């Protein structure tokens, strides 16, 4: 084979191997997706069971925290507004 024959023929991969690899990659992707779905479902179910066992639902805990934060912010702003101005010392020249 001459250099001219090799450059005109190009690369000729085995098509059966390429098709086989594409099929295996597709099957592997489907299996990975199925595994991720099963794992997610198990975690979701465990989280729901844990939330059902709590004395106070997470929504109520968040509401209580928000109410406390608003009250603390209002108290801090009120204290800042009504703070005594610092006493002025002797004037420096």
Tell me the CB-side half-sphere exposure of residue 23, using CA atoms within 13 A: 6
pTM over 0.85: no
pLDDT per residue of the chain (93 residues) written in tens, 0 to 9:
555 555 567 899 999 999 999 999 999 999 999 999 999 999 999 999 998 898 888 899 999 999 999 999 999 999 998 887 666 656 665
Tokens coding 78: 């009120």
**pLDDT for the residue numbered 92:** 60
Whole-angstrom CA distances from 32 to 22, 23, 38 are 15, 14, 10
The whole-angstrom separation of Cα 46 and Cα 48 is 5
């Amino acid at each position: 084979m001459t250099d001219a024959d090799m450059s005109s023929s190009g690369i000729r991969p085995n098509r059966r191997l390429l098709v086989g690899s594409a099929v295996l990659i597709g099957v592997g992707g489907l299996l990975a997706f199925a595994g991720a779905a099963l794992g997610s479902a198990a975690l979701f179910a465990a989280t729901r069971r844990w939330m059902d066992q709590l004395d106070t639902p997470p929504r109520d805990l968040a509401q209580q925290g928000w109410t406390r934060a608003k009250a603390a912010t209002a108290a801090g702003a009120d204290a800042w507004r009504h703070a005594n101005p610092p006493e002025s010392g002797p004037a420096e020249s």
